[in-house]
Structure 1
Amino acid sequence: MKLRNGLLLSCVFLSGLVIGTTTSPIRHAWGQEAGNDSTYQQLSLFGDIFERIKANYVVDPPSDKLIYNAVNGMLSGLDPHSSYMNAKQYADMQVETTGQFGGLGLEVTEAGGLLKVISPIDDTPAFKAGIKPGDIIVDIDGHSTEGLALNDAVDKMRGAVGTKITLTLKRAGVNTPVVATITREIISIQAVKSRLITSAAGDIGYIRLASFSEKADEDIRKAVATLQKQSGGHIHAYILDMRGNPGGLLDQAVAVSDDFLNSGEIVSTHGRHTQDDQVWYAQPGDITNGAPIVVMTNEGTASAAEIVTAALQQNRRAVVLGTRSFGKGSVQTVVPIPGNGALRLTTALYYTPSGKSIQDYGVTPDVKVSDTSKPQDQFADLRESDLQNSFKNPTGVPAPTLPSPIPLPAVAKTIPDKPPASWPAFDATKPETDFQLQMAIKLAAAMNAPGPSTASN
């Protein structure tokens, strides 16, 4: 089934300045049309407030700014992911989905008035500067982010290539502010990276999927073909690393899931209108020929990445290792407004093959492995459920942990849930310091080919 286009962060009291009432032209027009209709009476109130601000605010505010803030306030009050994009922001979004844009390379969201990093994008300036999932951005170039709208924060972090920006961060387990000065670059996202890993059981194909841009499926297929050629067609198992993958395009999530499945439901969506109710199924053609798969997740694994994780886990196709994912189970539709940007509106929730929603709760790994042995503070585990106005899980109760869809090898019981205190500090250039990856290699080497694809219930 073909996806519809666009599916996808001292008070002053004035007294005596206004005596009596004035009839706002906006309010008057709406009032004439509306009669006693309560919706239009509220629109009349908006027009009245707009005119009073224009007449009496300490400086004359630009009308377009007032309208922009009002529209975004209306949308952000619905959920964390609905928003209005002006023409420039809409153009930026369209560029981002192609995999190349200017900036720092950060996926951020707003949570409880805080600007929080979901994940840095691999090999970008933010990634190289050591910014981590869960970091709270408290200052941008010395200006507090408190009360700053998400779109405005993103605009501040963008800028001319070669210019510098200084971020002040609050990091879990660190008592002093972390300051990072970063040079903006053209961000060319390499959504997929791959390499062969040698193990006693045979070659393991490691695939890093960083985002679901418009070529994710194509790049996954190329990576698997390259790995198979390099190994002479003898790959024992695959590791699909989606840690810190913030998601992206729904059609790419469906296509990537289908790459590793021969049959079974991938995902379904259900919304207010019947046209938003859809189901996608896998077609024959597992590109790995049934080799075992370990999927790696963490708290930065979100949205489209969670669709793939749940589809492979619940169709008895992969074992999931890491920490619980972010828990974003909603679908946004982008509605262009000719000449005035676009509306990003939540139109549906998606459901995994088991019929469960991951909204709020995320996907629970079969083998839980943290990347740190340090105690975490209250911000370290911030997820979708912590975002202001986030949807509640439609079932109203925590999604039950499904039994492991694939029998775990005996070695799984020997894998610790966190690195020992003596484990070396993580260095992105040294895979041997990546504790979660080393445990995934250990697990993948011990796995055998799974049985037929059948979703758990």
Structure 2
Amino acid sequence: MRLRSGLMLGGIFVAGLTAGSLAQPLSRAFGQAAPNDSTYQQLSLFGDIVSQVKQNYVIDPPTDKLIYNAANGMLSGLDPHSSYMNAQQYANMQVQTSGQFGGLGLEVTEVSGLLKIITPIDGTPGAKAGIKPGDIIVEINGHSTDGLSLDDAVNKMRGTPGTKITLTLKRNGINTPVHVTLTREIIKIDDVKSKLLTSSAGPIGYIRLDSFDENASAHIRDAVKSLTKQAGGHIHGYILDLRNNPGGLLDQAVAVGDDFLNSGEIVSTHGRHPEDDQVWYAQDGDITKGAPLVVLTNAGTASAAEIVTAALQQNRRALVLGTKTFGKGSVQTIIPIDNEGALRLTTALYFTPSGKSIQDYGVTPNVTVAETATPEDSFSQLRETDLLNSFTNPTKESAPPLPPAPPLPPVASSIPSKPPANWPSFDPSKPSTDFQLQMALKLIADMHATRTTTASN
């Protein structure tokens, strides 16, 4: 999970809350509301319930636990991405966002009470152990995860580097439990990985972005410089791999989009108060100088990654190949609370250059290509709409016109929608086994550099 103060677009979240006096926060929240205001009446009811529990429950429960559970229920009932972190949880989050922490390197979410793997982070114990997107964690060190909160599960999986932990997994297509023993490591988040690939049209720069942390744009720019140098100054095109990228910082989504555009709208946000609405436009300076660009996506492409995908696709800068994205169109703000923790609150929805929200819908690729020969068994089934209390799509107005879509390269019609049955099993160390990547190379070889066209401002 990657959170910062300010606007967030991360698709992974942690539940939590803090104890403390209600009087001062309520005074700030409701101002000079009349004593008979319905909000105060309901809070009186809440106080009565707490009093009855404290007096008559079979044991005397800690008050902070009662407030913790109450706040947790209040926020999780709003939407899947609002939560409260007590001081310790907030500190843990800040450690993780520093770029390294002791753990397994797994992006985890909670769906209908199940702890589900979104993706293992490349090069971490989770990835090395063969844990797959879509795996469900049913036991941690032999203890059932039934009823375990996402926050508690994450805390159990973190720990001192060098210590061991055993996870029991339920995996699609396998009827018996999968037991995996892992050794915790210092997880260093290397958000950008790049390499030079070959195609029939010449060298292709491959850039994989794992998350939108505070260095995403800078690292993308460094990767382009390095690849250009490796290729002796000539690169036919670039593949930007955003598969299983859960999102991150809004400002970095804007910056990365701007890296590949000369002009045009990147994204806009619309919240409860119109005066807070914002729109971001690209500035001149495409770092690839208009080289052909393909974006790789799947159902794990979420939030900030969807902003970049939609901006590049709708400004006719890139073609998107893969499967439909996750569909998270909400923005969260981190609000510290009296040095006792922080509130992660959904404060806006974002809209793509077309004027539409992708909430629940996601981004549809120009060329649909599944990762496996049996896509029905893959992680692609889990999207924003599967999360409890997710927003419905708010788009009601017709979208402004976009530049006309250029025709797809002729080779696109020959690209199959899924790998053949005899395609080798995916091996991260062997690009030849990555079917989507191989189809992207085929597509980009048939593309030509073009001056960036833009959506109307």
Q: TM-score, normalised by structure 2?
A: 0.90
Give 3-state SS (helix, strand or coil) of 1:119's partner.
strand
> For residue 211 of structure 1, what is the aligned residue in structure 2?
211
Residue 112 of structure 1 pairs with residue 112 of structure 2: yes
Residue type of the partner of 2:259? D
Q: Say whether the 8 Å CA contact 1:313–1:405 is kept in structure 2.
A: no
Aligned partners of 1:390 and 1:41: how far apart in 2?
28
Residue type of the partner of 2:317? R
Aligned partners of 2:5 and 2:67: how far apart in 1?
27
> For residue 448 of structure 1, what is the aligned residue in structure 2?
448
> For residue 331 of structure 1, what is the aligned residue in structure 2?
331
Q: Say whether the 8 Å CA contact 1:83–1:343 is kept in structure 2.
A: yes
Q: Say whether the 8 Å CA contact 2:103–2:159 is kept in structure 1.
A: yes
Aligned partners of 1:55 and 1:379: how far apart in 2?
47
Residue 98 of structure 1 pairs with residue 98 of structure 2: yes
Q: Deviations along 1:253-273, whole A, 9 cap, x unmatched?
A: 100000000000000000001
Q: Say whether the 8 Å CA contact 1:82–1:345 is kept in structure 2.
A: yes
> For residue 393 of structure 1, what is the aligned residue in structure 2?
393
How far has the Cα of 1:378 moved from its partner? 9.2
After TM superposition, list the pairs within 5 Å mapping 1:130-141 onto structure 2: 130-141=130-141
Q: 1:132 to 1:379 in 2, by over 3 A?
A: closer
Identical-residue share of aligned pairs (%) = 73
How far has the Cα of 1:151 moved from its partner? 1.6
Give 3-state SS (helix, strand or coil) of 1:267's partner.
strand
How far has the Cα of 1:63 moved from its partner? 1.6
Give 3-state SS (helix, strand or coil) of 2:389's partner.
coil
Aligned partners of 2:103 and 2:406: how far apart in 1?
41
Q: 1:64 to 1:392 in 2, by over 3 A?
A: same
Q: 1:416 to 1:334 in 2, by over 3 A?
A: same
Q: 1:328 to 1:375 in 2, by over 3 A?
A: closer
Q: Deviations along 1:351-376, whole A, 9 cap, x unmatched?
A: 00011111001111111111111262
How far has the Cα of 1:84 moved from its partner? 0.1
Give 3-state SS (helix, strand or coil) of 1:446's partner.
coil
Aligned partners of 2:343 and 2:195: how far apart in 1?
40
Q: Deviations along 1:128-184, whole A, 9 cap, x unmatched?
A: 122222222222222222222222222222122222222222222222222222221
Residue type of the partner of 1:280? W
Q: Say whether the 8 Å CA contact 2:300–2:379 is kept in structure 1.
A: no
Residue type of the partner of 1:124? T
Aligned partners of 1:326 and 1:398: how far apart in 2?
23
Q: 1:107 to 1:398 in 2, by over 3 A?
A: farther
**Higher alpha-carbon Rg:** 1
Q: Say whether the 8 Å CA contact 2:299–2:380 is kept in structure 1.
A: no
Residue type of the partner of 1:376? E
Please say which of residues 143-152 and 43-52 is displaced more in the overlay: 143-152
Aligned partners of 2:378 and 2:411: how far apart in 1?
32
Residue 69 of structure 1 pairs with residue 69 of structure 2: yes
Aligned partners of 2:41 and 2:22: how far apart in 1?
12
Residue type of the partner of 1:306? E
> For residue 315 of structure 2, what is the aligned residue in structure 1?
315
Aligned partners of 2:34 and 2:48: how far apart in 1?
15
Aligned partners of 1:433 and 1:379: how far apart in 2?
18
Aligned partners of 2:114 and 2:69: how far apart in 1?
18
Runs ≥4 in structure 1, deviation > 4 angstroms?
377-380, 396-399
Q: Say whether the 8 Å CA contact 1:268–1:352 is kept in structure 2.
A: yes
Residue type of the partner of 2:219? D
> For residue 22 of structure 1, what is the aligned residue in structure 2?
none
Q: TM-score, normalised by structure 1?
A: 0.90
Give 3-state SS (helix, strand or coil) of 2:6's partner.
coil
Please say which of residues 162-171 and 203-212 is displaced more in the overlay: 162-171
Aligned partners of 2:235 and 2:91: how far apart in 1?
42
Give 3-state SS (helix, strand or coil) of 2:44's partner.
helix
> For residue 186 of structure 1, what is the aligned residue in structure 2?
186
Give 3-state SS (helix, strand or coil) of 1:350's partner.
strand
Q: Deviations along 1:350-404, whole A, 9 cap, x unmatched?
A: 00001111100111111111111126259750110110000000137999xx998
Aligned partners of 1:309 and 1:366: how far apart in 2?
11
Q: 1:330 to 1:398 in 2, by over 3 A?
A: farther
Q: 1:50 to 1:26 in 2, by over 3 A?
A: farther
Q: Say whether the 8 Å CA contact 1:172–1:379 is kept in structure 2.
A: no
